[in-house]
Structure 1
Amino acid sequence: MKPVDWSEVREPTIPEFISVSRETEERLAIYADLVRKWQSSINLISPKTLPDLWTRHVLDSLQLFALRREPAIWLDMGSGAGFPGLVTAICLAEAGEGWVHLVESNNKKAAFLRQAISKTGARASVMPVRIDAAVESLPDIEAVSARALAPLADLLSHSAPFAARNPAIELWLHKGLDYAEEVRSARDLWAFDLVEHKSHFQDGSVILEIGNLKKSN
């Protein structure tokens, strides 16, 4: 089979309900191209999802910006290839406000994230450490994101130190088909307000908007 020439790939149009500028769309296309180029040497995403990179990863992550457009100081946990944190940071570039702290302990993935920031002008920085090691060195975080990282209860545990400093913190967590069971399990340990936003691109998936996070009595 002839290898795909990714330089000839043209990204699909971004849906109107997300509504980003042409400049942001171009930045996202540069980012997507970088993911494809680095994928051959680093396993950034599941190889089987590479042909569907734009919808499966970029647009899925862009939903978060559509839901939470106001610039904020973000923590993106376990950033990996940058979904959704780097996508948010690219969207913030045009606004000139807000920031995303990308926490990724894998040094190779952290190197990719730095390259992507440099090429796209994203409003982000990379911390190549584990999440618990980042608590003391980050400023007050206003919003937290994570995608395909860990069970919900674990994500809430990672977020708790930041919530203790800022009770108004918002958590925006991408979850798949088994999210309802994860929510039930998490409520055994945590109390929180919850809004479920259904995914426009992944059947059965959601973005969980969580606030007022506290340890259960």
Structure 2
Amino acid sequence: MSEACFLAERSVSRETLARLAAFAALLEKWNPAINLISAGTVAQIWTRHFLDSAQVFDLADAKSGLWADLGSGGGFPGLVAAILALEERPGLSFTLVESDRRKAAFLSTAARELGLPVRVMAERIEALPPLGADILTARALAPLPVLLGYAERHLQPGGRALFPKG
């Protein structure tokens, strides 16, 4: 699946599309070494990973505040949301939490190379002080009861937790 499949479902600027394409290239480059995404889904980056993340971004209707993505792994949905927010919601700030230091290094590198104002925390979620997030996301991280516990600790009152489940 390609950029065209993504664009058939969601409109983005040329600049945003270029950042997403650069992110896809980084994923393909780093994935063999640190398993950011399943090898079976590499061909579906634009639909399974980018489009799914864009749908989460659209559900999180906040225009400003802190978006915290727990267990960010390959950057879904957090890094994709940060790419979309640059033009669509510049008032959002992003914190990506990933305990695997190799994956956290990838996230930091990707954010830097893509020009994204993202903070990456290479720590265990349980060890973090409360984040006070306005939006809290996690994809393929833990069972829902565990995620709700994280939300209770890291989401500020009135915030929104989005936990896409397959």
TM exceeding 0.5 = yes
User: In the alignment, what sits opposite 1:175?
Assistant: 165
Q: Cα distance, 1:11 vs. partner?
A: 2.6
2:157 aligns to what SS in structure 1?
coil
Identity across the alignment (%): 45
User: In the alignment, what sits opposite 2:36?
Assistant: 44
Contact 2:60-2:135 within 8 A present in 1 as well: no
2:147 alignment partner, one of 148, 152, 155: 155
* Whole-Å separation in 2 of the counterparts to 1:121 and 1:76: 18
* Whole-Å separation in 2 of the counterparts to 1:62 and 1:71: 17
User: In the alignment, what sits opposite 2:102?
Assistant: 108
1:98 alignment partner, one of 68, 92, 98: 92
Q: Cα distance, 1:78 vs. partner?
A: 0.3
Tell me the TM-score normalized by structure 1: 0.70
Tell me the TM-score normalized by structure 2: 0.90
Q: Cα distance, 1:68 vs. partner?
A: 2.5
* Whole-Å separation in 1 of the counterparts to 2:8 and 2:43: 23
Unaligned stretches of 5+ residues in structure 1: 1-8, 177-217
2:65 alignment partner, one of 72, 80, 90: 72
Q: Does 1:26 align with 2:18?
A: yes
1:174 aligns to what SS in structure 2?
coil
Q: Cα distance, 1:15 vs. partner?
A: 3.9
* Whole-Å separation in 2 of the counterparts to 1:123 and 1:105: 20
* Whole-Å separation in 2 of the counterparts to 1:17 and 1:40: 29
Aligned-CA RMSD value = 1.8
Unaligned stretches of 5+ residues in structure 2: none
Output the amino acid matched with 1:76.
D
2:64 aligns to what SS in structure 1?
coil
User: In the alignment, what sits opposite 1:194?
Assistant: none
State the structure with more CA Rg: 1
How many residue pairs match? The answer is: 164
* Whole-Å separation in 2 of the counterparts to 1:162 and 1:115: 25
User: In the alignment, what sits opposite 2:82?
Assistant: 89
User: In the alignment, what sits opposite 1:119?
Assistant: 113
* Whole-Å separation in 2 of the counterparts to 1:17 and 1:44: 24
Contact 1:141-1:169 within 8 A present in 2 as well: yes
Contact 1:92-1:123 within 8 A present in 2 as well: no
Contact 1:101-1:127 within 8 A present in 2 as well: yes
Q: Cα distance, 1:10 vs. partner?
A: 5.5
Contact 1:18-1:66 within 8 A present in 2 as well: no
Q: Cα distance, 1:134 vs. partner?
A: 1.9
Q: Cα distance, 1:13 vs. partner?
A: 4.5
Q: Deviations over 1:141-186 (max 9, x none)?
A: 10100111111111001111124xx22010011101xxxxxxxxxx
* Whole-Å separation in 1 of the counterparts to 2:129 and 2:164: 22
2:158 aligns to what SS in structure 1?
coil
